[in-house]
Amino acid sequence: NAGVMQNPRHLVRRRGQEARLRCSPMKGHSHVYWYRQLPEEGLKFMVYLQKENIIDESGMPKERFSAEFPKEGPSILRIQQVVRGDSAAYFCASSPDNTDTQYFGPGTRLTVL
């Protein structure tokens, strides 16, 4: 059973561009979580999604950030008009239901020039 997949692993964008981060959960997992890790910090929750639904987006900035988890295909975290402060590692985790352990992907390191 393949683990959680994230791509790209590294993404470089210039200020004002868009960043799209993809996450494919483990097979059989329908719950996806996105976390952000700033340098020298722990992970901070951003958003929790089930198939086609956003359950909790309390950790996501109100502007420029959006997330989706369509019926088919990976979950996408989209950052519009990136700024230098968006530079961070973005981790996706999945679980088979909302009471079980979350398994993490390898992360996407976003660098904004």
Interface residue list for other proteins (CB under 8 A): 31, 33, 35, 40-45, 48, 55-56, 58-59, 89, 91, 93, 95, 98-99, 101-104, 106-107, 109
CB of 81 to other proteins, least distance (A): 26
Q: How far apart, in whole angstroms, are the C-alpha atoms of residue 6 and residue 18?
A: 17
State the DSSP string of 16-66.
Answer: T--EEEEEEPPTT--EEEEEEE-TTS-EEEEEEEETTEEEE-TTS-SSSEE
- Quick one: 23 or 93, whose CB is closer to other proteins? 93
DSSP-assigned letter for residue 1:
-
CB of 12 to other proteins, least distance (A): 17
Q: How far apart, in whole angstroms, are the C-alpha atoms of residue 53 and residue 41?
A: 29
- Quick one: 18 or 52, whose CB is closer to other proteins? 52
- Quick one: 42 or 85, whose CB is closer to other proteins? 42
CB of 94 to other proteins, least distance (A): 12
